[in-house]
Amino acid sequence: MSIDIGIIGLAKSGRTTTFNALTRSEVDTGRYTQEGLAPHIGTANVPEPRLKVLADMLHPKRVVPAVATYIDVGASVKGLVKDKGIGGQLLAQLSNVDALINVVRAFSDESIPHVDGSLDIERDIANMDLELVFSDLALLERRLERIEVSLKGAKQPERQGLLREQEILMKIKSELEKEVPIRGLMLTAEEARTIANYQFLTAKPLLVVVNIGEDQLPQAESLEAELDSRYSRPKCRLITLCGKLEMELAQLDDSAAEALRAEYGIKESGVERVIKLSYELLGLISFFTTASAEVKAWSIPSDTEAVKAAGKIHSDMERGFIRAEVISYDDLVKCDSLSEARKKGLLRLEGKNYRVQDGDIITFLFNV
């Protein structure tokens, strides 16, 4: 089960271009995608420099990075609620993702008119935020209506539960009406549990990708800093990315890409930054396994219990979990090999409830 990230944005903002860059795909860009068409789905390796260090030390047959899945839903999210279009397929696709990327156009190109007539980054960001709020409000209202109906025939204790849910939803509704996204609310555990099933769009972490043109590259950093400071909000980040150039870079092999990046004076791969930021927003950490001559990276939410981490690899491992043999990345690197670490007694045995730490190298012991 990988992490799914949905790409939204206005038409012609560069969603498919960004998707291609992230997933090294070669989907046609510049085509008007119609509602109802299948989304583009692709995966990207999660950048993890420690994986290479481990591979150099352990000489595995295979090195397997964690992957993130990106979904370019295609159809414009604008007017989702009005046309009821979002009610169907688009909302279904979006409600299942773990985080959203909103691609906002900053590049200018007269041959590609902006769908709203003019370039305005902040307007586009605000409009999308509003669309997501509208979508959640529509969902909330439908649920509230159903609660009303159920309440008519409900007896205790079902009645009690419905009233409590109604109360929580009303509270969230009043915040949404003030245009406060759910991700910005401090929810109690009970409130969070109640709304978890609805997959509200404004509850998902949001990464705003400002798609700049090649000519804007020299200002990329200052533009990002300026917009980010004005747009800083909980569980939201903003980044500038030259989608078109990153898409070209993604089609090259690593050394050619590096050379071209140097030519443009780009220090770090923009695509890698996007993937890393989405991971940070989701609060994910990495752990590693080294079984079967494979070094593998896995991503899990921080504070995950060992038994759940095992389940990420295989449900049998979760069910038959006995213990985990764990060493931290730093300890292993100091020892230079697992056998040396074992000699020094640095491998710990941990139980089901051990909270996996970022960088742990783990061998799960289980029986089925």
Ligand X SMILES: Nc1nc2c(ncn2[C@@H]2O[C@H](COP(=O)(O)OP(=O)(O)O)[C@@H](O)[C@H]2O)c(=O)[nH]1
Write out the residues near ligand X by the rule CB under 6 A: 9, 11-17, 29-30, 107, 109, 112, 211, 213, 242-244
Q: Beta strands of 35-193 (E only): which ranges? A: 40-45, 62-64, 67-72, 99-105
Does position 13 interact with Mg ion (CB under 5 A)? The reply is no
**Is-contact 20 27, C-beta < 8 A?**
yes
Residue nearer to Mg ion on the CB measure, 33 or 278: 33
Q: How far is the CB of 331 from ligand X (least distance, A)?
A: 44
Tell me how far apart the alpha carbons of residues 15 and 72 are, in angstroms, rounded to a whole number: 7
Applying CB under 5 A, among 7, 10, 13, 16 the residue interacting with Mg ion is: 16
Largest Cα span, the chain: 71
Q: How far is CA 199 from CA 80, 96, 167, 205, in A?
A: 16, 7, 18, 12
Give yes or no for a contact between 7 and 19, defined as CB atoms under 8 angstroms apart: yes
Give which of ligand X, Mg ion, none residue 30 binds (C-beta under 5 to 8 Å, depending on kind). Answer: ligand X
Q: In this complex, which beta carbon is closest to Mg ion, that of residue 15 or of residue 50?
A: 15
3-class secondary structure, 61: coil
Q: Which is nearer to Mg ion, 7 or 300 (CB)?
A: 7
Residue 68 near residue 43 (C-beta atoms within 8 A): yes
Nearer to ligand X, 18 or 304 (CB): 18
**Shortest-Cβ-distance residue relative to ligand X:** 30
Quote the least distance from Cβ 317 to ligand X, whole Å.
40
Burial bucket for residue 73 (CB in 10 Å: 0-12, 13-18, 19+): buried
11 binds, among ligand X, Mg ion, none (CB under 5 to 8 A by kind): ligand X
The option from ligand X, Mg ion, none interacting with 13 (CB < 5 to 8 A, set by class) reads ligand X
> Quick one: 185 or 252, whose CB is closer to ligand X?
252
For 196, the 3-state DSSP assignment is: helix
Exposure class string for 28-41: b at 16+ Cβ within 10 A, else e: ebeeebeeeeebbe
CA distance linking residue 47 with residue 336, whole number of Å: 22
Q: How far is the CB of 256 from Mg ion (least distance, A)?
A: 26
CB of 42 or CB of 213, closer to ligand X: 213
The conformation of residue 305, written as its DSSP 8-state character, comes to: B
**Contact of residue 269 among ligand X, Mg ion, none (CB under 5-8 Å per partner type):** none
What does the alpha-carbon distance between residue 336 and residue 343 come to, in Å, rounded to a whole number?
A: 12
Of 107 and 288, CB closest to ligand X? 107
Distances in whole angstroms, Cα of residue 93 to Cα of each of 41, 83, 137, 209, 359: 11, 17, 18, 20, 32
**Nearest-approach distance from CB 103 to Mg ion, in angstroms:** 9
Q: Which does 289 bind (CB under 5 to 8 A by kind): ligand X, Mg ion, none?
A: none
Minimum distance from residue 280 beta carbon to ligand X (Å): 24
Q: Please, what is the minimum distance in Å from the beta carbon of residue 340 to ligand X?
A: 50
* Smaller CB separation from Mg ion, 203 or 242: 242
User: 23-82: which residues touch Mg ion (CB under 5 A)?
Assistant: 33
Report, in Å, the least distance between residue 247 CB and Mg ion.
12
C-beta of 19: minimal distance to Mg ion in Å? 8
Q: With CB under 5 A as the contact rule, which of the stretches 11-19, 257-265, 334-342, 345-353 interacts with Mg ion?
A: 11-19
DSSP secondary structure code for residue 234 in this structure: T
Residues at the site binding Mg ion, with contacts judged by CB under 5 A = 15-16, 33
